[in-house]
Amino acid sequence: MKKLLLTGFEPFLDYPVNPTMEVVKSLSGTVVNDYLIHGEILTVDFSKSGEQLLEAIEDVKPDAVISLGLAGGRHKVTPERIAINCNDGPEDNNGWKPNGEKIFPDGKDGMFTTLPIDQMAERLKESGLPAEISNTAGTYLCNNVMYHGLYYMRKNELTIPSGFIHIPASHALAIEQRKLPSWSQEDLNRAVELCVECL
Ligand code: PCA
């Protein structure tokens, strides 16, 4: 059986919960589309999160990698097209505030996902779940982790699919935060399963 590494993030900034953690907890250990899902929760820390992903890739030796992040304010599930070689944004959970530095000095400016994002977005819509491809994963930890995965695959000449999907807030998070569009946790879990079915 093939293995999928599925990552989520711990809570960060003023979000007291992160629905990606719940998706990973629910799907870890299950089998979807002949992939046994191995879940990992990453910290929100510019000095650690990328390394955590790479360590998990080396431990698990997956056949595909999907990382998940919360995009509070987005209405749809958004598979990401590209990661850029830049760290920027607010303070991370360790109090570090980046200022536009490169993630890898020898890295390309940008790298495209190797996940089937067109099929993923179509599959979600056919199943009644709002989705669209996003052309920016931002410059915070989600972009950082996506870039780490793609950089590693390229450097090690691995052709396994790797990339990132941003998801909206869950209802549990929207109860805590004003004016956030939200989905039920069940729909978020289902959306990620449908994406895995496209691998
Ligand atoms: N979302 C953040 C980092 C952690 C998360 O879940 C982001 O979009 O960069």
* Residue 116 CB-density burial (10 A; 0-12 exposed, 13-18 middle, 19+ buried): middle
pLDDT confidence of residue 103: 98
**pLDDT tens string for the chain (199 positions)?**
999 999 999 999 999 999 999 999 999 999 999 999 999 999 999 999 999 999 999 999 999 999 999 999 999 999 999 999 999 999 999 999 999 999 999 999 999 999 999 999 999 999 999 999 999 999 999 999 999 999 999 999 999 999 999 999 999 999 998 899 999 999 999 999 999 999 9
Residue that the structure tokens 């067109």 belong to: 118
Whether pTM exceeds 0.75: yes
pLDDT confidence of residue 161: 98
Rg (CA), the chain: 15
CA of 59 to the centre of ligand 1 (A): 23
Each domain of the chain, given as residue ranges in start order, spans 2-197
Cβ distance 98 to 123 under 8 Å? no
Choosing from 38, 40, 86, 142, the catalytic residue is 142
Among 9, 24, 148, 164, residue to substitute to test ligand 1 (most atoms within 8 Å of Cβ):
9
Q: What is the 3-state secondary structure (H, E, C) of the chain?
A: CEEEEEEEECCECCECCCHHHHHHHHHCCCEECCEEEEEEEECCCCCCHHHHHHHHHHHHCCCEEEEEEECCCCCCEEEECEEECCECCCCCCCCCCCCCECCCCCCCCEEECCCCHHHHHHHHHHCCCCECCECCCCCCHHHHHHHHHHHHHHHCCCCCCEEEEEECEEHHHHHHCCCCCEECHHHHHHHHHHHHHCC
Choosing from 38, 40, 80, 198, the catalytic residue is 80
**CA–CA dist 58, 36 (Å, integer):** 16
**CA–CA dist 9, 162 (Å, integer):** 17
For domain 2-197, the CATH architecture is: 3-Layer(aba) Sandwich (3.40)
